[in-house]
Chain A
Amino acid sequence: MNPVLIASVLVLIGLALVLIRTLRGPGVFDRILGVNMIGTKAVILLCLLGFLEDRGGFLDIALLYALINFVGTIAILKFVEFRRLGA
């Protein structure tokens, strides 16, 4: 078995566990944390997939994901806190 593949599947299982928390999560912050963590795991998975297929270009997309994840989380938190997105 390819060790990178095993790592990818393990990350996916972790992603599923976080997804359960996101779906059930009673509070808003459970969900937000879950979504943020899923984004992080997606970044890791993307890097692993790059190694799985010997594609260095995946790392660029991983960077983009990391940035989007950050901006999205900020926007969501701002909405929850202030009920609006503008200044």
Chain B
Amino acid sequence: MDSVFPVDLLLLALVVVIGVATIRARDLLASTLLLGVYSLLMALVWTNMFAMDVAFTEAAVGAGISTVLLLGTLIVVGREERPSRGPHGAALLVTILTGAALLYGTTDMPAFGDPNAPVHTDAVGRKYIAQEVGKVHPVAHHHDDTHHDEAHHDGADHSADDHEPDTSAPAEHHGGSSEIHGDPAQDAHHGDYGTHVPNLVTAVLAAYRGYDTMFETAVIFTAGVCLIVLLRDRRSPPKETEAAA
């Protein structure tokens, strides 16, 4: 952890420089390019925090798709920003106040990687880590516990591919318990990842993928509806941005 610190410090300093430069640049193409670099470096920072999924998403969406979408916007709005009349006083004040409030909020957060953080000690959090929220116990045997977790985890993984994960997950759990039990491939890795997922977020995502996917779909649907409402009926719809997306 310590050896990563100087790298993180330099990375974040570069990110700040890029952020300021992005705001100040008059050339919108330069701003777009700098935003791509910003996302790339932020993804590196996420990687340093072992937040692999966040880093993946940041790199793919922030540096990849966003850049292309912003370029599609530049086709419509042109490359040069109009000269502004200096900073807007009220907006600056609101921004500074919001930033101060957020920074004040972070003082209540537990330290990064703190094992005594509320997420780890809270009753619900422990249940999430053990992956037994809403879990039906078909067999009451004591020594079967580890295999339960595996069976549940495995069933949830399958359910991510299903079309109706919410209904199929419990059924698979009931049926899969016995067949996983004798599977040598599953028994082979009984390390950190064999019996349960050590990371809380990953545990929730892996074990409750069905809900996760359901709400993600709702969010994406809402975003799509908003985009359609915003973009309809303006001259002729720009074909370029559609192709780029």
Contact = CB atoms under 8 A, between A and B. Distances in A.
A15 B14 contact: yes
B30 interface: yes
Interface in A7-55: 8-9, 12-13, 15-16, 19, 22-23, 28, 31-32, 35, 38-39, 42, 45-46, 49, 52-53, 55
Interface in B12-65: 14, 17-18, 21, 29-30, 32-34, 36-37, 40-41, 43-44, 47-48, 50, 52, 55-56, 59-60, 63-64
Contacts of B43: 42, 61, 65
Contacts of A19: 14, 17-18, 37
Contact of A75 (B17, B52, B55, B244): B244
Interface in B79-134: none
A23 B40 contact: no
A35 B4 contact: no
A50 to B, nearest CB: 9
20 contacts: A9-B7, A16-B14, A23-B34, A35-B33, A42-B44, A49-B7, A49-B44, A52-B7, A57-B52, A58-B47, A61-B55, A61-B56, A64-B59, A65-B63, A72-B67, A76-B29, A76-B33, A79-B75, A83-B75, A87-B243
